[in-house]
Amino acid sequence: MFISYAMNVAEMIAVSVAAYILGAALTYENLWVYVTVIIVGVLVFAPINYRYSRVFLLHWLTPGLGFIPALWEKPSVKP
């Protein structure tokens, strides 16, 4: 969950910096332009954010976690 939040914050900063570079001056009159651009950016990147935040969490933050086949086997019940 915190990985997804961190990725959203990074995307918001990147999209707002891109809007500033592309010509939207950071003034009070353009506040709604920035809010709209940030919300649209978050919605566009939501599927990618969801997928890759899980990948980062599973492979980078919990590398010792693995499948244990012995726990999957069901004990045989004898009548």
The predicted-structure confidence for 23-61, as pLDDT tens digits, reads as follows 888 788 888 999 999 999 999 999 999 999 988 888 888
Please provide the average confidence, as pLDDT, over all residues in the chain.
Answer: 87
Q: What CA–CA distance (Å, rounded) separates 75 from 56?
A: 34
Residues 6+ apart with CB under 8 A from 42: 8, 11, 12, 15
Please tell me the pTM assigned to this model.
Answer: 0.71
